[in-house]
């Protein structure tokens, strides 16, 4: 057997995998809402949808990392309910993850087979068999020239990606799921990967393909399933579908009615609180640089796909990560921000994306979390003033309506929404002039979300300059005065509130991704 | 939508009351263990509870208490200091040299010796902290290096000889008592109180705990994580400097081979006292109780006639038992919450 994936093709009419009414509920969110889906043997099936549409939840359930709350799955006619990733691998379903999990210190051959290393009769590692098998697998993904003994640590992302795919093929996978496999690849590497995907399909494997790069979906996929808000919107052949059709399906025509907001004064009449000129963050693509300004009293949205550089931008402004180039102006005065300390001194605060790892100290009391960025205000010559700290904490608790039993309670015990309010409160205690927020309502229940929105609007009305990053386009559309749209590290456009249009914004967000591989190659050159 | 949900608030109340006192509860648990241990030895040995034996115990644990106070700071930020014993020897021989300088009156000589000892300790701590904080090297490795450096320095400084014949006023302090309590234990208690104040009442202490829990959150709140980490090592080193002088007053000599293994005793006291090796959780009071447990165990086991070797084994078991119990306590807390 030369090609492991050349399974005996089952009868072509039968389904490889069928999902019926698959449902997954997280606290406050219905991630998957009765999804039906049929994958055919030997097809490349695109899974499309906006951020948060349910793609990741679906993949997690398919590969055994999570369990559905309802619905059935049938794999080649047999009931399929993986209890662990190992079950899924045994059943022949394999995921090539967005973030690769490789053992850097080990060789390519070892990484390919570490789940089942070949043994000699004495029970020792059979190196010869391991190398031989590794060569076979590497040949499958076009890495014929890579020595199996090479250490993974020295390899680039593209090679790692291909090795991961080869690994997926090592265990007689019948279904291979690729989650954003091209995100880190160059155009040429992408072309090669797409070729391999076609070969896999021709060998009888079903490939599920997820990518923000719509062009790739058209290049390689046979059919597409679009998810929106946890529901399946459509499954249709790729041929006969246009990019516009696809975007429309992903966004949906039924735009929710958004509540009218305070009428913001025209931007031009307000003084700029923050201006960014030629900003380049570490890892930014090509020669792109960012220029924009943020005025007092306005809420500006920073829209774009996950990975388009929104988080990097706000972190760079705050000094959380190093900046390569560019200048930040506060009140039209150039300022040097070498770290969070400098940003805070300039009245700039950042609510980070990841509140558990970066925002909160979960095991410490709520009052200590609230005062963490204002310790000087609640101490005298270095000695904490317990009363002052408690007063400050209570002020924020009532201002933000944080629901708690006591300010001495560890913040871990609060719900997601209330934890997020604690993060907000920590910064509000400093009375910021510029507030940057990265996904401020992620994992927050609907009620707390509305309260956070109301709070931001009130504070903007009081003159605060607010920049919000969010993957929830509707949130940005209801909250913001104008929107900046990022696409692959580039500021793709700016839209005023009067012109807000979901399709137009998404078209901008996809702008740099929908260019064909050749075009973006030429651009980079 | 903006009215608080009363159910959420009331549901959270009992949990919070328990959690709020979890640190106190942990200390109480260690205290109970200490009392039980004392009771057992009091029953087994008529000598154990006599005042002379208690004085003996307090004298014996004083050095370890002082070292463990400093060690608590380092472990709270998620570090460890293995160089304590060696640095103590180095501090001691330098202090001994100062004490024996010609032409100095006793008073100034003692003051200068103390300053030199603390200075050497703090410098070694500064080196430990700076190297591990700036290059991101685990403090385990850096302080392992310092363990050898300081020991070598101590031996080189004295050409492997011990220093003795210090002023009487100096030597007498090691056996002095105040209101019936050994003076050196009172010094240790004073340092415990100071450590408690710094950790529980100052901005610095707050940040030590915060860094041990979540460095990144502290950095993003505009504080210097490196600075505080280095300071924790400097404090540990300064405590070693004090400990070195106190130890000299007890032994009336300064030996370059003293203090071997002292770091392990200090770490054991901190761990038995409930401080988490991964940082961010623990207390000075726990450390004091931990040192007491080690001291009572060592003393009591001698009184009931256990051999040196068996005593060492028992101490080892107690260290492991303390950590296992702490794992269960944490699991229980999580299960209930």
Kindly report, residue by residue over B281-310, the tens digit of the pLDDT.
Answer: 999 999 999 999 999 999 999 999 999 899
What's the average model confidence in pLDDT over A109-132? Answer: 83
A516 and A391 in a single domain? The answer is yes
Q: CA of A445: how far to CAs of A298, A385, A413, in Å?
A: 25, 34, 15
Q: Determine which of A318, A372, A385 to mutate to test the interface with B (most B C-beta atoms within 10 Å).
A: A372
User: Taking a C-beta distance cutoff of 8 angstroms, is the pair A217, A37 a contact?
Assistant: no
The reply to whether A385 touches chain B by the CB within 8 Å rule is no
Nearest CA distance, B250 vs chain A (angstrom): 35
- The CATH number of the domain holding residue B222 is 1.10.3470
Nearest by CB to A404, which of B12, B216, B281?
B12
Interface test with A, best of B200, B216, B217 (most A CBs within 10 A): B217
- Contact A372/B217, CB-based, under 8 Å? yes
Q: Which residues of B touch A451 (CB under 8 A)?
A: 1-2
Q: Between chains, do A405 and B203 touch, taking CB under 8 Å as contact?
A: no
Q: Final residue of a domain: which of A225, A251, A277?
A: A251
Residues A212, A340 within the same domain: no
Q: What are phi and psi of A342, to 5 degrees?
A: -65, -40
Mapped onto helix, strand or coil, the DSSP state of residue B216 is helix
Q: What are B49's two structure tokens?
A: 């509870």
Side by side, which strands form the sheet with A323-330? A290-295, A272-281, A323-330, A333-335
pLDDT tens-digit map of B98-131: 999 888 888 899 999 999 999 999 999 999 999 9
Pair (A63, A211) in one structural domain = yes
Quick one: A288 and A328 in the same domain? Answer: yes
Query: Of A177, A180, A179, A230, which is closest to residue A206 (Cα–Cα)?
Result: A177
**B100-109, B198-207, B265-274, range with the lowest pLDDT:** B100-109
Q: Are residues A327 and A279 in the same domain?
A: yes
**Within a domain: B242:** yes
Q: Which residues of B touch A384 (CB under 8 A)?
A: 201-203, 206
Q: How many CB pairs under 8 A join A and B?
A: 109
User: What's the pLDDT score for residue A237?
Assistant: 93
Q: How would you class B305 by CB atoms within 10 Å of its CB: exposed for 0-12, middle for 13-18, buried for 19 or more?
A: exposed
pLDDT score for A403: 86
Q: How large a percentage of chain B has pLDDT more than 90?
A: 76
How much is the average pLDDT of A461-481? 90
Q: Over range A232-255, report the average pLDDT.
A: 81
For B64, the 3-state DSSP assignment is helix
- Distant-in-sequence, close-in-space partners of A257: CB < 8 Å, separation ≥ 6: none
> Is residue A136 in a domain?
no
Residues in chain A within 8 Å Cβ distance of B219: 339-340
Please state, in angstroms and rounded to a whole number, the distance separating the CA atoms of residues A9 and A233: 30
Q: Which of A365, A405, A426 sits opposite B13 (nearest CB)?
A: A405
User: Per-residue pLDDT for A374 more than 80?
Assistant: yes
Predicted confidence (pLDDT) at residue A411 exceeds the cutoff of 60: yes
In a domain, A11, yes or no: no
Across the interface, of A401, A406, A413, the residue whose CB is closest to B2 is A401
B161 touches chain A (CB under 8 A): no
Contact flag B220-A451 (C-beta cutoff 8 Å): no
Sign of the torsion formed by the C-alpha atoms of A401, A405, A411 and A414: negative
> How many Å apart are CA B304 and CA B44, to the nearest integer?
7
Q: Between A193 and A4, where is the model more confident?
A: A193
**Mean pLDDT of the B195-224 span:** 96
The residues in B 13-32 lying below 8 A from A, measured between CB atoms, are 13, 15-17, 19-20
Distance, in angstroms, between B31 CA and closest chain A CA?
23
Cβ-defined contact of A361 to B214 (cutoff 8 Å): yes
pLDDT band with cut points at 50, 70 and 90 for residue A28: low
Token reading at B300? 């009591």
Over range A89-115, report the average pLDDT: 82
Contact A344 B222 (CB under 8 A): yes
**What domain count does chain A have?**
2
Domain that residue B220 falls in? 46-336
Beta-bridged to residue A23, according to DSSP, are: A70
Residue B57's alpha-carbon distances to A6, A106, B41, in angstroms, are 77, 53, 13
Give residue B260's pLDDT.
94
Tens digit of each residue's pLDDT (9 = 90 or more) over A280-311? 988 787 778 899 999 999 999 999 887 788 99
Those residues whose C-beta lies under 8 Å from the C-beta of residue A326, and which sit 6 or more positions away, are A276, A277, A278, A279, A280, A289, A290, A316
pLDDT of residue B66: 98
Q: Report yes or no on B3 lying in a domain.
A: no
SS3 for B177?
strand
Residue A262: pLDDT band by 50, 70, 90 thresholds?
low
**A372 contact residues in B (CB cutoff 8 A):** 210, 217-218, 221
Q: Which domain holds residue A173?
A: 17-105+156-251
Is the domain of A206 the same as that of A306? no
What's the pLDDT tens digit per position in B34-66?
999 999 999 999 999 999 999 999 999 999 999
Tell me the shortest Cα–Cα distance from B161 to chain A, in angstroms. Answer: 44
Residue-level pLDDT at A213: 78
B336: confidence class by pLDDT, cuts 50, 70, 90: low
Q: Which residue of B lies nearest to A358 if distances are taken between CA atoms?
A: B217
Contact status of A368 with chain B (Cβ, < 8 Å):
yes
Q: What is the mean pLDDT of residues A353-360?
A: 88
Q: Does one domain contain both A271 and A231?
A: no
Question: Which residue of chain B is at minimal alpha-carbon distance from A320?
Answer: B220
Q: Report CB contact under 8 Å: A344, B219.
A: no
Residues 326-365 of A with CB under 8 A from B: 339-341, 343-345, 350, 352, 357-365
- Whether residue B15 is contained in a domain is answered as no
Give me the CATH number covering residue A63.
3.40.50.300
Residue B26 lies in a domain: no
Please tell me which residue, A25 or A327, carries the higher pLDDT value: A327
**Which chain A residue lies closest to B14 (C-alpha atoms)?**
A405
pLDDT of residue A264: 53
pLDDT at B19 over 50: no
Assess whether A318 and A242 both reside in one domain. no
Do A340 and B5 make contact, defined as CB atoms within 8 angstroms? no
Residues A411, A360 contacting (CB under 8 angstroms): yes
A189 and A245 in a single domain? The answer is yes
What is the sign of the dihedral through the CA atoms of B192, B194, B198 and B201? positive
Q: What is the CA radius of gyration of chain B?
A: 21
**pLDDT for residue A9 is more than 50:** no
Is the Cβ–Cβ distance between B250 and B183 less than 8 Å? no
The answer to whether B219 faces chain A, any CB pair under 8 Å, is yes
Give A286's DSSP letter.
T
pLDDT of A331: 93
Residue B12 lies in a domain: no
Q: Could you tell me the pLDDT band of residue A519, with boundaries at 50, 70 and 90?
A: very low
Interval A253-259 mean pLDDT = 45
B1, A451: Cβ pair inside 8 Å? yes
Residues 6+ apart with CB under 8 A from A431: A347
Higher pLDDT, B219 or A260: B219
Check CB contact of B179 with chain A, cutoff 8 Å.
no
Angle of helix B84-99 relative to helix B225-251, nearest 10 degrees, comes to 60
Q: Please give the tally of structural domains in chain B.
A: 1
Task: For B158-217, give the DSSP string.
Answer: HTT--EE---HHHHHHTT-EETTEEHHHHHHHHHHHHHHHHHHHBHHHHHHHHHHH-HHH
pLDDT at residue number A180: 81
A347 and A219 in a common domain: no
Same domain, A320 and A242: no
The verdict on A64 and A195 lying in the same domain is yes
Instruction: Write out residues 220-259 of B within 8 Å (CB-CB) of A.
Output: 220-224
Q: Is B56 on the interface with A (CB under 8 A)?
A: no
Element (H or E) spanning B180, and its range? none
């Amino acid at each position: 057997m030369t090609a492991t994936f050349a399974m005996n093709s089952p009868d072509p009419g039968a389904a490889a995998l069928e999902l019926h009414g698959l449902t997954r509920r997280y606290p406050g969110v219905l991630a998957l809402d009765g999804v039906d889906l049929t994958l055919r043997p030997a097809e490349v099936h695109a899974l499309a949808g906006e951020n948060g549409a349910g793609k990741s939840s679906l993949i997690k359930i398919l590969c055994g990392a999570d369990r559905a709350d309802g619905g059935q799955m049938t794999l080649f006619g047999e009931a399929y309910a993986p209890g662990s990733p190992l079950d899924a691998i045994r059943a022949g379903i394999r995921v090539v993850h967005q973030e690769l999990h490789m053992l850097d210190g080990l060789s390519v051959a070892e990484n390919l087979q570490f789940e089942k290393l070949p043994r000699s009769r004495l029970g020792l590692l059979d190196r010869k068999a391991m190398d031989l098998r590794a060569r076979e697998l590497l040949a499958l993904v076009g890495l014929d020239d890579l020595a199996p003994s090479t250490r993974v640590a020295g390899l680039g992302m593209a090679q790692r990606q291909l090795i991961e795919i080869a690994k997926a093929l090592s265990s007689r996978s019948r279904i291979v799921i690729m989650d954003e496999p091209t995100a880190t690849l160059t155009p040429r590497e992408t072309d090669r990967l797409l070729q391999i995907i076609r070969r896999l399909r021709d060998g009888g494997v079903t490939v599920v393909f997820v990518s923000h790069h719509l062009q790739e979906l058209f290049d390689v996929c046979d059919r597409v399933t679009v998810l929106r808000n946890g529901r399946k919107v459509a499954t249709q052949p790729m041929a006969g579908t246009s990019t516009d059709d696809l975007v429309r399906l992903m966004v949906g025509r039924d735009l929710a009615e958004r509540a009218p907001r305070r009428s913001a004064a025209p931007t031009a009449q307000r003084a700029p609180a923050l201006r960014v000129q030629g900003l380049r963050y570490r890892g930014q693509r090509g020669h792109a640089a960012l220029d924009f300004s943020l005025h007092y009293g306005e809420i500006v949205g920073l829209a774009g796909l996950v990975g388009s550089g929104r988080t990097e931008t706000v972190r760079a402004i705050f000094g959380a990560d190093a900046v390569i180039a560019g200048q930040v102006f506060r009140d039209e005065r150039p300022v040097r921000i070498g770290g969070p300390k400098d940003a805070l001194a300039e009245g700039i605060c950042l609510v980070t994306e990841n509140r558990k790892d970066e925002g909160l100290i979960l095991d410490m009391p709520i009052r200590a979390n609230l005062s963490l960025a204002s310790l000087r205000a609640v101490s005298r010559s270095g000695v904490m003033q317990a009363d002052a700290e408690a007063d400050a904490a209570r002020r924020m608790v009532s201002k933000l309506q944080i629901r708690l039993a006591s300010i001495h309670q560890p913040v871990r015990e609060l719900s997601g929404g209330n934890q997020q309010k604690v993060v907000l409160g920590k910064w509000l205690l400093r009375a910021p002039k510029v507030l940057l927020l990265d996904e401020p309502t992620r994992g927050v229940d609907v009620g707390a979300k509305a309260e956070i929105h109301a709070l931001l609007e009130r504070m903007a009305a009081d003159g605060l300059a607010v920049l919000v990053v969010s993957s929830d386009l509707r949130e940005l559309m209801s909250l913001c005065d104008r929107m900046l749209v990022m696409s692959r590290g580039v500021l793709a456009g700016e839209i005023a509130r009067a012109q807000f249009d979901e399709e137009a914004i998404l078209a901008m967000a996809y702008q740099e991704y929908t260019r064909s591989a050749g075009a973006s190659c030429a651009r980079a050159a | 939508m903006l009215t608080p949900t009363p159910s959420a608030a009331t549901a959270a109340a009992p949990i919070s009351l328990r959690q709020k006192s979890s640190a106190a509860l942990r200390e109480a648990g260690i205290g109970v263990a200490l009392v039980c241990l004392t009771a057992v030895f009091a029953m087994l040995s008529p000598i154990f509870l006599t005042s002379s034996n208690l004085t003996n115990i307090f004298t014996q644990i004083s050095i370890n208490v002082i070292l463990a106070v400093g060690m608590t700071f380092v472990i709270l930020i998620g570090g460890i200091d293995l160089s304590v014993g060696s640095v103590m020897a180095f501090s001691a021989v330098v202090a001994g040299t100062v004490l024996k300088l010609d032409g100095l009156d006793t008073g100034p000589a003692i003051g200068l010796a103390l300053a030199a000892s603390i200075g050497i300790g703090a410098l070694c701590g500064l080196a430990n902290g700076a190297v591990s904080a700036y290059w991101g090297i685990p403090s385990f490795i850096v302080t392992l290096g310092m363990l050898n450096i300081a020991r070598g320095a101590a031996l080189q400084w004295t050409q492997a000889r011990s220093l003795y014949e210090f002023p009487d006023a100096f030597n007498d302090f090691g056996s002095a008592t105040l209101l019936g309590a050994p003076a050196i234990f009172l010094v240790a208690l004073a340092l415990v109180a100071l450590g408690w104040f710094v950790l529980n009442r100052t901005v610095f202490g707050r940040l030590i705990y915060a860094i041990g829990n979540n460095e990144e959150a502290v950095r993003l709140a505009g504080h210097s994580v490196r600075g505080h980490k280095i300071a924790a090592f400097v404090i540990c080193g300064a405590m070693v400097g004090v400990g070195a002088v106190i130890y000299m007053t007890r032994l009336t000599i300064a030996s370059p081979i003293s203090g071997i293994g002292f770091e392990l005793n200090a770490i054991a006291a901190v761990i038995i006292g409930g401080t988490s090796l991964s940082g961010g959780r623990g207390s000075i009071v726990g450390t004091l109780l931990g040192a007491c447990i080690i001291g009572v165990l060592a003393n009591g086991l001698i009184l009931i006639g256990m051999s040196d070797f068996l005593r060492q084994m028992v101490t080892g078991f107690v260290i492991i038992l303390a950590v296992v119990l702490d794992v269960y306590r944490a699991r229980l807390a999580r299960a209930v919450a």
